[in-house]
Chains A and B, each alone.
Chain A
Amino acid sequence: MSQTPKEEKIREHTFDGIEEFDKSLPNWWLFTLYATIAFSIAYWVYYQKASMGLDQEQELEAALAEIDEVVAKAKAEAGVIDNDTFAVMAKDPDIVSAGQLIYTQNCSACHGQNLEGGIGLPLNDADWKHGGQPLDIQKIVVEGVATAGMPPWGPVLGEEKVNQVVAFLVSKQAK
């Protein structure tokens, strides 16, 4: 049982009676070593050299953005109208094109074909006199601004069309 096969090379020198074989390294062990080294280099190149992966802050931002979208969609489906809902509607091409048609027919006379303004204020810059949140814009469209000569459109267009035109404006909003 304790016989050593002839081909096992044993080192000449002993230490306090301890002998040592000089067997070659197991192949699977070497493979593990090389594989982890190769993976590590690839990982470093992917994240640090090529900057292809997200860093931890970007990972969080992406996750939070995804949540925002889910929350907004759920609200839109539930019929809740708030800023988040408009953000979702502004990404829906059907709503936006419907809103654009309403704009061209009713608003462009004063605010310009391309939102550049005229009698009314321009709507293509970052300057929003009465607040730039979607709900602020909706309020102005519905109620108008008597002192500036803008009529209330709520009674004329009705809720759905007002929301469509607001979604259109939000989609064109300068960030």
Chain B
Amino acid sequence: MSDQKRVIEYDDQTVRLFMIASIFWGIVGMLVGLVVAAQLNFHFLNFNTEWLTFGRLRPLHTNAVIFAFVGNMMFAGIYHSTQRLVKARLGSDLLSKVHFWGWQLIILSAAITLPLGFTRGKEYAELIWPINIAVALIWVVFAINFFLTLAKRNERSLYVAIWFYIATIMTVAMLYIVNHLSIPTGLLHSYPIFGGVQDALVQWWYGHNAVAFFLTTPILGIMYYYMPKAADRPVYSYRLSVVHFWSLVFIYIWAGPHHLLYTALPGWLQQLGMIFSLMLWAPSWGGMLNGLLTLRGAWDKLRTDPVLKFFAAGVTFYGMATFEGPLLSIRSVNALAHYTDWIIGHVHAGTLGWNGFMAAGMFYFLAPRLWKTKLYSVPMANMHFWLGLVGILLYVASMWVSGITQGLMLNNADAKGILAYPNFLETLQSIRPLMLTRVVGGGIYLVGFILMAYNIWKTVQSGEAVNGVCEVSAAKDDAKKLGLIGAVMHPAFLYSAGLVVFSCVWLFSDGLLELFGMGATIVVIMSCVVHFTRSGDSFAQWYDKLLENAMPFTVLALLSAAVGGVVQIVPLVNIDKASVAEDRLQKVYTPLELAGRDIYISEGCYNCHSQQIRPFVAEVKRYGDYSRLGESIYDHPYQWGSKRTGPDLARLGSKYQDDWHFDHMINPRSTSPGSNMPNYPWLAEKFTDYGSLPAKINAQKMLGVPFPDWSPAEIDAAAKAQAKAIKENLEFRGKEVDADTQIVALIAYLQQLGKSMDVQEQVANK
């Protein structure tokens, strides 16, 4: 009976669709990137049009390349390799179709809503709430389809690529849902449920791990399938796979706060972010080693095979970026690099180098196989490789120099605390040539990518779509069953869990509990070492069994990824907002200021302006007293920012007159010669949306912001009265403007930035 064979036809049509979609959206996303990079050099390239302005297009660029380009590429790679690794057709043809078309619809709606200014105002999480729900649903469809495929597999054991796919699916779901929790105020607008420092922490727990679990782990899985396939060599080390997979999944999630060093985030969280980033170095390099050393004995093929060229360079960029990451998270390095172009360069070393090159390698590998033909032109693929490489190097190197130059200039205060470059614009002028080099580098990279699209199009034309097949034995041999209990009750798990729990007790407690935690940690480590040396085989057997049981494996992967988030986020979410405000507490916005703030978010001002003054001499001299935790505690979403293309705005209020802001918005160069900020003429023409204010204030009250009990009529009257006062002031200073235009509301918001209350004073007033 075991001789009975049956033939399985893989669903490669879905793979083809995802691959084509990835190439198409890749071109779109990179083209938008090129446009925004050019706009930084030539401000007039928004053509005075709101939906072509940097603040709205930059989110389109990031979302398109992350979710559309890499997203579709990831789905193509996962679906193609998983079917072959588990010898089964995709779980459900219907779900595959829903997944593909649903995802494209999401991308399309993002491409429409983002330029229109509909945004949640959080980086890489800008999409509005109805799209968020669609993303979550489609992700669940993807997960069901994937796990259904595993359920009907004809291969007992799970290969390392599958481990990474499982970690990706579970962790992205967790991150995405938590960071997108919102209260809607209307069909197109919502406020995140977290505010201020909590929102900052959740945002970067998500933002950092979007890099980890959307741009890294799935691509590592893809590397583990396509690299040995293309090189026709065995993977370098299985045990390295095991060690670096689990350490990567466990450690990555803790590193998010390194995006918030020297901010108002509590010090213990900042330090956790830094040390876990350092500890991430070796696990990341484990992946690089396993990739590069798989090429042992096949290095000669790099000369002839463009696929391997791209893979080898891609993995090398991965190694570079994962060394640079820990470096940048060292507090003193971060003090220089944060808010500058260095971070932009770092990200693009990862995305252009690692993601872009791995994608290209995979596409060149897949196209001839999925369409059963030969690659149209190998020389053209080689040309793509060299154009891409030169493009990346120009891009990354110019961003290094730019970031370090501007960082040094901005932080330069002499022994008497006098700023060497008091005018921010001076530092902007010094990096202009580098910003231009970046456009050239990115342009060259895009030309290479378009060559690839052409090459693959011609390849597709020369062949015909063919689905892969595979012969499997009809008789399924029974897997070694290991339920969740069996997985958890083994010493291997118990030691790991004990180590995590006891070391947390040691690190986060004091007194007797601390001593107990330290003792218990040492006992666990020692007994584990003894136990392992005596009966290491039983550990290996347990792990082999675990690999044949997808459910317990998935649970353990999710558990190890969840620990870091729980330890960091739960203590900060459960605090009473007013009690942690330290010495200053934010004032609640007036209705007009709130309307202005929503305009600020909608225009994407946070893409270029931070609202967080770090406790450095140069920053305190330049921008005013450093930002306190309480000063943004009621901000949903927080607006601390991550990049200073322009100066920090945390204490902008009252620094200039209303008419300065008016002139500056209409033409920034009239007040700030040499500025690269675009003109915002429509702000003086479009009207402020007063009608939505009651619903917005109501939502914020539900979130715990202490707005007074205003009736809708009171809100409307208050907003209009304040607008009238600003309009009259502008008129007095010779500026004609309608009181109900957006520019008036925005000025109201900008003029209160940094106006917090002394906590003592606040208590006394009560």
Which of chain A's residues have a CB closer than 8 A to the CB of B239?
A: 22-25
Q: How far is the CA of A4 from the CA of B392 in the complex (A)?
A: 36
Candidates B87, B159, B237; contact of A18 at CB < 8 Å: B159
**Residue-by-residue, is B258-269 near A (CB-CB < 8 Å gives 1, otherwise 0)?**
000010000110
A11 engages B416 (CB within 8 Å) = no
> A18 with B229: in contact, given A23-B237, A29-B289 (CB under 8 Å)?
yes
A60 engages B286 (CB within 8 Å) = no
Closest to A10 in B: B234
B240 engages A33 (CB within 8 Å) = no
A21 engages B236 (CB within 8 Å) = yes
Q: Does B403 contact A (CB under 8 A)?
A: no
Please, how many residues of chain A have a CB less than 8 angstroms from a CB on the other chain? 44
**Residue-by-residue, is A25-54 near B (CB-CB < 8 Å gives 1, otherwise 0)?**
110011011001101100110011100000
Q: How far is the CA of A19 from the CA of B279 in the complex (A)?
A: 30
Please, how many residues of chain B have a CB less than 8 angstroms from a CB on the other chain? 53
B289 engages A21 (CB within 8 Å) = no
**Residue-by-residue, is B706-718 near A (CB-CB < 8 Å gives 1, otherwise 0)?**
0000000000000
Question: Least Cβ distance of A71 to chain B in Å?
Answer: 5
B235 engages A40 (CB within 8 Å) = no
From B300, B415, B620, B626, residue with most partner A Cβ within 10 Å: B415
Which of chain A's residues have a CB closer than 8 A to the CB of B480?
A: none
Which of chain A's residues have a CB closer than 8 A to the CB of B275?
A: 39-40, 43-44
Q: How far is the CA of A1 from the CA of B84 in the complex (A)?
A: 28
From A15, A43, A56, A60, residue with most partner B Cβ within 10 Å: A15
Which of chain B's residues have a CB closer than 8 A to the CB of A81?
A: none
Which of chain B's residues have a CB closer than 8 A to the CB of A2?
A: 232-233, 297-298
Which of chain A's residues have a CB closer than 8 A to the CB of B155?
A: 15
B617 engages A21 (CB within 8 Å) = no
Interface residues of B in 458-511 (CB under 8 A from A): 507
Which of chain A's residues have a CB closer than 8 A to the CB of B634?
A: none
Which of chain A's residues have a CB closer than 8 A to the CB of B262?
A: 56
B271 engages A18 (CB within 8 Å) = no
B243 engages A71 (CB within 8 Å) = no
Q: Does B281 contact A (CB under 8 A)?
A: yes
B416 engages A23 (CB within 8 Å) = no
A18 engages B234 (CB within 8 Å) = yes
B617 engages A63 (CB within 8 Å) = yes
Which of chain A's residues have a CB closer than 8 A to the CB of B286?
A: 29
Interface residues of B in 233-263 (CB under 8 A from A): 233-241, 243, 247, 262
Further pairs besides A24-B239, A29-B286, A39-B275: 11, Cβ < 8 Å: A2-B232, A11-B238, A16-B229, A17-B229, A19-B235, A23-B236, A23-B237, A26-B289, A47-B271, A56-B267, A60-B615
A-B residue pairs in contact (CB < 8 Å), sample of 29:
A3-B297, A10-B234, A15-B155, A15-B159, A17-B229, A18-B228, A19-B234, A20-B234, A20-B237, A21-B237, A22-B237, A22-B238, A22-B239, A25-B237, A25-B239, A26-B289, A29-B286, A32-B281, A36-B281, A39-B275, A40-B276, A40-B278, A43-B274, A44-B275, A48-B268, A56-B262, A60-B615, A64-B417, A67-B417
Interface residues, chain B, with chain A CB atoms under 8 Å away = 84-85, 87, 155, 157, 159-160, 225, 228-229, 232-241, 243, 247, 262, 267-268, 270-271, 274-276, 278-279, 281-283, 285-286, 289, 297-298, 300, 326, 415-417, 507, 514, 614-617, 620, 626
Interface residues, chain A, with chain B CB atoms under 8 Å away = 1-4, 10-11, 13, 15-26, 29-30, 32-33, 36-37, 39-40, 43-44, 47-49, 55-57, 59-60, 63-64, 66-67, 70-71, 74
Which 4 A-B residue pairs are closest in the complex by CB-CB distance?
A40-B275, A33-B282, A19-B234, A60-B615
